[in-house]
Amino acid sequence: MPIVLLAILAFAIPVDARYRCKNMEGNDVDWYVAIKLPANIDERNGRSFAYFDSTQTGWVFSKQPINSTDSAIGATVNQLYNSDNGTTFKIAYNDDCPGKQVDSGRGHSKGVAVFNIESGFWLVHSVPNFPPPGKYDYPETGSKFAQSFVCLSLDANSLEDISQYMRYSQVTPFITNLPKNFETLAPHLVDVVNKKSLGRSDTRFTTSHDIETVGHKRVKFFAKHKKFGRDLWHDFIALYLRTPMAVETWRNGAAVNVGTQCDLNNVYDITSVKVANKEFASSKDHSKWGVSMKESVPAVCIGDVNRQQSQFKRGGGAVCIEDAKLWRTFRGSVNSYLDCGEVQERKTSPKEKGKKFKGKKSGKGNKNGTMTIRKAKEILRRAKLGKRRWQGTFKKNQFKKTKKELNRLQE
- The predicted-structure confidence for 51-106, as pLDDT tens digits, reads as follows 999 999 999 999 999 999 999 999 999 999 999 999 999 999 999 988 787 778 89
Rounded to a whole number of angstroms, the CA Rg of the chain reads 22
Asked, for residue 62, whether it belongs to a domain, the answer is yes
pLDDT value of residue 373: 53
Say whether both 222 and 328 belong to one domain.
yes
SS (H, E, C) the chain: CHHHHHHHHHHHCCCCCCCCEECCCCCEECEEEEEECCHHHCCCCCCCEEEEECCCCCCEECCCCCCCCCCHHHHHHHHHCCCCCCCCEEEEEECCCCCCCCCCCCCCCEEEEEECCCEEEEEEECCCCCCCCCCCCCCHHHCCCEEEEEEEEEEHHHHHHHHHHHHHHCCCEEEEECCHHHHHHCCCHHHHHCCCCCCCCCCCCEEEEEEEECCCCEEEEEEECHHHCCCHHHHHHHHHHCCCEEEECCCCCCCCECCCECCCCCEEEEEEEEECCEEEEHHHECCCEEEECCCCCCEEEEECCCCEHHHHHCCEEEEEEECHHHHHHHHCCEEEEECCCCEEECCCCHHHCCCCCCCCCCCCCCCCCCCCHHHHHHHHHHHCCCCHHHHCCCCHHHHHHHHHHHHHHHC
Say whether both 268 and 245 belong to one domain.
yes
Q: What is the pLDDT of residues 273-304, one digit of tens each?
A: 999 999 999 999 999 999 999 999 999 999 99
pLDDT value of residue 254: 87
Say whether both 259 and 382 belong to one domain.
no
Say whether both 38 and 132 belong to one domain.
yes
Say whether both 258 and 397 belong to one domain.
no
Asked, for residue 365, whether it belongs to a domain, the answer is no
**Buried b vs exposed e over 317-326: b needs ≥16 C-beta within 10 Å?**
bbbbbbbeeb
pLDDT band for position 201 (cuts 50, 70, 90): confident
- Pairwise pLDDT comparison (12 vs 188), residue with the higher score: 188
Asked, for residue 69, whether it belongs to a domain, the answer is yes
Q: How many CB atoms lie within 10 A of CB 377?
A: 16
Asked, for residue 48, whether it belongs to a domain, the answer is yes
Please choose, from the candidates 253, 222, 292, the residue with its C-alpha nearest in 3D space to the C-alpha of residue 145. 253
Say whether both 173 and 122 belong to one domain.
yes
pLDDT band for position 403 (cuts 50, 70, 90): low
Whether the pLDDT of residue 134 is over 50: the answer is yes
Say whether both 198 and 72 belong to one domain.
yes
Whether the pLDDT of residue 151 is over 50: the answer is yes
Say whether both 211 and 175 belong to one domain.
yes
Say whether both 45 and 150 belong to one domain.
yes
Phi, psi for 168 (deg, rounded to 5)? -65, -40
pLDDT value of residue 383: 52
Asked, for residue 121, whether it belongs to a domain, the answer is yes
Q: What is the tally of structural domains in the chain? A: 2
Say whether both 348 and 377 belong to one domain.
no
Whether the pLDDT of residue 14 is over 70: the answer is no
pLDDT value of residue 381: 56
Q: What is the pLDDT of residues 313-355, one digit of tens each?
A: 999 999 999 999 999 999 999 999 999 865 444 443 445 444 4
Say whether both 301 and 172 belong to one domain.
yes
Whether the pLDDT of residue 178 is over 50: the answer is yes
Whether the pLDDT of residue 363 is over 90: the answer is no
Asked, for residue 209, whether it belongs to a domain, the answer is yes
Say whether both 208 and 349 belong to one domain.
yes
pLDDT band for position 411 (cuts 50, 70, 90): very low
Asked, for residue 235, whether it belongs to a domain, the answer is yes
What value does the mean pLDDT of the chain take? 86
Please choose, from the candidates 360, 387, 86, the residue with its C-alpha nearest in 3D space to the C-alpha of residue 230. 387
Answer yes or no: are the C-beta atoms of 193 and 178 closer than 8 Å.
yes
Answer yes or no: are the C-beta atoms of 269 and 251 closer than 8 Å.
yes
Mean pLDDT of 215-229: 98
Phi, psi for 253 (deg, rounded to 5)? 85, -170
Whole domain around residue 257: which residue ranges? 18-356
Percent of the chain, pLDDT > 70?
79
Write down the pTM of the prediction: 0.82
Q: Distance between alpha carbon 214 and the CA centroid of its chain, in Å?
A: 20
Beta strands 89-94 and 60-61 are: unpaired
Whether the pLDDT of residue 270 is over 50: the answer is yes
pLDDT value of residue 99: 79
pLDDT value of residue 104: 82
Asked, for residue 151, whether it belongs to a domain, the answer is yes
- Pairwise pLDDT comparison (8 vs 396), residue with the higher score: 396
pLDDT band for position 118 (cuts 50, 70, 90): very high
Which has the minimum average pLDDT: 141-145, 160-164, 200-204, 387-391? 387-391
